[in-house]
Amino acid sequence: MSAIVTEKDQGVAVITLNRPQRLNALDPEMATALHASFTDVATDVEVRCVVVRGEGDGFMAGGDVRFFKQSLNQLATGDHQPLSEIFNAVHGTIRTMHSLPKPIIAGVHGAVAGFGISLMAACDLVIAAEDTVFTIAYCHIGTSPDGGSTFALPRMIGLKRSMELALLGDRFDANQALSLGLINWVVPGSDLRAQTEQLAVRLAAGPTKAYAKTRMLLNTSLDADLNQQLDREQAAFLECVTSDDFAEGVSAFLDKRRPQFRGR
């Protein structure tokens, strides 16, 4: 059984975390497969939106603690080789997600812990089932966070809240996550997959090039001053107006019809 399953249909790639017997806990095989899957969808021109979801009872319960236990003796000597494969893959995945030229949606439920938080935070939009329980959790096993959560969270929810979640590792529910700004919607668990798919299809039918530029502008905005950001906006806009999607969008607006974007 593959630790990651990728399915593509109607311009949507659904990446499923597929270790349900371990609550999709991350081990080297899953980390490598996840990186490979995101690398694939990044270059597939037919894919116009990506969905990340978890099979079974939870989205992702963080790192596989059993794997850490098996590696303790080697790690205690200062030999970090057991973790190097995971870090290379995990951080490669986050970098690929950050630069991906298409929207990413997370549909989460059950446990979202450790790297599950990092993976979710790297997505553009998040739909959570009502039963979702979140925790950064790293402090409970005596380590600091990874996967870019210390980059994403202060930008999303502020420094003090990020400190609270990371230092205490307390659990919080979907409504608390919504109020913090970590997620976008809370839905009944029975509706999670359908509503996630509905949103993905909507985004896949949108102006892909414009989405790519919008993601870039927002993801880099906190590293720019106003003048830099204005220059980036102008450059991005001028690139968009050369696209077929722009011509279609303008024509559709004037014709008072729904645009038929093709991602070019």
| More confident: 67 or 39 | 39
Residue 1, pLDDT score: 78
Quote the pTM value.
Answer: 0.94
Which CATH fold topology does 4-204 show? 2-enoyl-CoA Hydratase; Chain A, domain 1 (3.90.226)
Instruction: Please state the rounded mean pLDDT for residues 124-147.
Output: 95
Lowest mean pLDDT among 37-51, 76-90, 205-219, 239-253: 76-90
**Tens-place pLDDT, residues 70-90:** 888 887 788 788 788 889 999
Q: CB–CB of 156/212 below 8 Å? A: no
Residue 71, pLDDT score: 81
Domain range annotation of the chain:
4-204, 208-255
Residue 78, pLDDT score: 81
**Tens-place pLDDT, residues 138-157:** 999 999 999 999 999 999 99
For the cut 90, the answer to whether the pLDDT of residue 257 exceeds it is yes
Lowest mean pLDDT among 49-58, 62-71, 162-171, 244-253: 62-71
Residue 68, pLDDT score: 83
